[in-house]
Structure 1
């Protein structure tokens, strides 16, 4: 089976490019390309492959081949979530495992009470309360189906967030299997598409999102806010997968339709009060800036960031923090290192348990550290927060 380096070398030769010419055309360093073709580079970042795909006139998916990025969380993260993974991946519980038989009303109350922990990125607390709650929800049987789906959706989202990809796949598959209607299923599929994107499985993400966008497309004159939100999110996933796979036309078409759904809504709207399904003009504006970031257009990222609507219902912390990472990355690209540090510090203040799980933040911080002669206490603190290796 050919490797990523084999495919890069074959396409480079076909394009009559030397390694140095490919480096200049792509913005990827000569040393990275040399190591990649020699098989010494390890697993390349998705962004590296996207940059190489442009001058090689191919797609990111082709360069990637069958590779899907593993979660590879650090040891502390693996240990923290061991009990949650056990509850999701282990054998089904029995009534004998519970101190007393759970009730649907009781589990519903508990799920409602802990939902702010998810929206507030309170990962340490969730690692403690989730395992017994997942087992109790499993014991409810068919009458507890709806609350179990909700808990599995939240748990699957959390597992994607912390790169526990196998557990995420199981949780989301079970949630989709138990979904009672199309909109409930769409909420699960939205996170499944995000999981596929984080794994680098761009073709699978795009195909799943396209299928659901087609199925969910409403008649605009009669569309409910819930229908518009579900359709809009499916379109955003189509756009995200397409732009990463060097299909800018498809990405822009999907984003334009998502914007139409957002305009029809007129504001940020959370389907069923679910923070994971918050959609509207602000969310679309942030995703447009994210696309520009993926395309390495830092000036456009900053321009679009200035146009992100303020006020009203806020997007999820995950989407807002990701937007701030895109802004920080653009500032680094433009050598505004102080402004980049300000954005990273803002994220760290607001979501200190979210930031360490973001490899993008680690990459940004690594470039800041490499470009600064002296490290301020704030930069050192942020480097520790994102778990930047000492030798970077």
Structure 2
């Protein structure tokens, strides 16, 4: 029988035939339906968690199934994004002439301390889910950071100004990764890491690497993300008895990146080992901690625990996720004692819970989780594919007329009701 040819479909079909399986056998081994397997081979695309189940059945890393191909056409809203990001592109990626000069708006001269305060304000807005405000601040902030470096060369405080510029770039990279503007995010992060290396500021460079690993994970580049995080973690591994909070947090965050990449790539043993290292760092700290001058994200015992629960979600263990919901390190009492994880990590954790509720048939509970996240972080949830997947699954099981809340959620997440 003739079949459609797609890079992913051809790769999965080749693995299946090498194993001597028909589609029914692959469905049985992977825990998927025959129609899902047929859809992957014929249409050539699948959710990452579905693809991971196929890879597990074959006993290969998920990345082994990835194959190059022509990208899908850009959506109709690309022109709108180009316009919205024009000012940020000008500040981050100015034109360069043949003599090496940049034709950029030089910005207003500012003291490094003033730019640092702007970074702190923008990071606070980012952590409060106020992405529109961050987007408005970043172009001017980056131009001021550039101008501060130029002015500092004349005033003898060059190193401080360059470090501030590196922090401004890392903030831009963090924001752009969150809103899935990956090429621009890479530009910002790579330049921030380069500046930190020039200053021999290891923790700032490691912070940039942590952000770059997140970007690679978002692009399904699991092997590269794991390797980058592992080599950097090895280079900065602290002595637990004398390490500062910033050193422990930076190392612990890199260990979390190793685990996140490994578990997505069906490397469970490596993920478990990295989770143990992260837990060691968190235990030595004793509570959640954040200081953007040494590491960007909040890190501590609660953060490590929600990432361990995320592993269960990625493995499809819905009952395991729900059994640890609001228990142990994630109980209300313990969170009050050790501190809460960052809002973004917490919302991502609640999406895992929503997804698990759907898997066990509790769509009402899943909808309640989505509604709580929407209330607290409407801008954040709009950018989350997992939220769309959960909503799609809720709608598939819905036999009655949709509630107003469901219709509004579907509209927010761009899911066809």
TM-score when normalising by structure 1 = 0.92
Comparing 11-20 with 276-285, greater Cα deviation is found at 11-20
Structure 1 residues 70 and 166 mapped into 2: Cα distance closer, same or farther (>3 Å)?
farther
Structure 1 residues 369 and 334 mapped into 2: Cα distance closer, same or farther (>3 Å)?
same
Is residue 160 from structure 1 mapped to residue 185 from structure 2 by the alignment? no
Aligned with residue 339 of structure 2, among 296, 310, 313: 313
Matching residue of 1:377: 404
Kept in 2: contact 1:229–1:271 (CA 8 A): no
Structure 1 residues 67 and 263 mapped into 2: Cα distance closer, same or farther (>3 Å)?
farther
Instruction: Give how far 1:14 is off.
Output: 2.0
Task: State the superposition RMSD in angstroms.
Answer: 2.5
Comparing 142-151 with 72-81, greater Cα deviation is found at 72-81
Instruction: Give how far 1:328 is off.
Output: 0.5
Instruction: Give how far 1:28 is off.
Output: 3.2
Structure 1 Cα separation of the partners of residues 72 and 188 of structure 2: 17
Is residue 16 from structure 1 mapped to residue 20 from structure 2 by the alignment? yes
Matching residue of 2:315: 295
Structure 1 residues 363 and 82 mapped into 2: Cα distance closer, same or farther (>3 Å)?
farther
Is residue 112 from structure 1 mapped to residue 120 from structure 2 by the alignment? yes
Kept in 1: contact 2:63–2:222 (CA 8 A): yes
Aligned with residue 278 of structure 1, among 298, 316, 325: 298
Instruction: Give how far 1:216 is off.
Output: 1.6
Structure 1 Cα separation of the partners of residues 70 and 224 of structure 2: 11
Query: What SS is found at the alignment partner of 2:95?
Result: coil
Instruction: Give how far 1:117 is off.
Output: 1.1
Is residue 358 from structure 1 mapped to residue 384 from structure 2 by the alignment? yes
Which sections of structure 2, spanning at least 5 residues, go unmatched? none
Structure 2 Cα separation of the partners of residues 145 and 67 of structure 1: 40
Matching residue of 2:360: 334
* Larger Cα-atom Rg: 2
Structure 1 Cα separation of the partners of residues 72 and 237 of structure 2: 33
Query: What SS is found at the alignment partner of 1:172?
Result: helix
Structure 2 Cα separation of the partners of residues 106 and 82 of structure 1: 25
Matching residue of 2:89: 85
Matching residue of 1:46: 48
Query: What SS is found at the alignment partner of 1:253?
Result: helix
Structure 2 Cα separation of the partners of residues 347 and 155 of structure 1: 24
Query: What SS is found at the alignment partner of 1:86?
Result: helix
Matching residue of 1:139: 147
Structure 1 residues 80 and 315 mapped into 2: Cα distance closer, same or farther (>3 Å)?
farther
Instruction: Give how far 1:132 is off.
Output: 1.9
Structure 1 Cα separation of the partners of residues 189 and 223 of structure 2: 19
Instruction: Give how far 1:389 is off.
Output: 3.0
Q: Deviation per CA, 1:145-189: give whole Å up to 9, x if none.
A: 111111111110111100000000000001000113111111111
Structure 2 Cα separation of the partners of residues 209 and 352 of structure 1: 31
Kept in 2: contact 1:275–1:316 (CA 8 A): no
Structure 2 Cα separation of the partners of residues 353 and 303 of structure 1: 29
Comparing 74-83 with 29-38, greater Cα deviation is found at 74-83
Q: Deviation per CA, 1:115-146: give whole Å up to 9, x if none.
A: 21111121112222211221221222262211
Matching residue of 2:130: 122
Structure 2 Cα separation of the partners of residues 67 and 279 of structure 1: 38
Structure 1 Cα separation of the partners of residues 72 and 249 of structure 2: 30
Kept in 1: contact 2:216–2:224 (CA 8 A): yes
Comparing 64-73 with 8-17, greater Cα deviation is found at 64-73
Query: What SS is found at the alignment partner of 2:163?
Result: helix
Comparing 188-197 with 379-388, greater Cα deviation is found at 379-388
Structure 2 Cα separation of the partners of residues 71 and 237 of structure 1: 31
Structure 2 Cα separation of the partners of residues 82 and 134 of structure 1: 14
Structure 1 Cα separation of the partners of residues 388 and 216 of structure 2: 21
Structure 1 Cα separation of the partners of residues 388 and 65 of structure 2: 24
Kept in 2: contact 1:329–1:340 (CA 8 A): yes
Query: What SS is found at the alignment partner of 2:379?
Result: coil
Comparing 334-343 with 66-75, greater Cα deviation is found at 66-75
TM-score when normalising by structure 2 = 0.86
Query: What SS is found at the alignment partner of 1:306?
Result: coil
Instruction: Give how far 1:16 is off.
Output: 2.1
Instruction: Give how far 1:248 is off.
Output: 0.6
Aligned with residue 64 of structure 1, among 48, 66, 80: 66
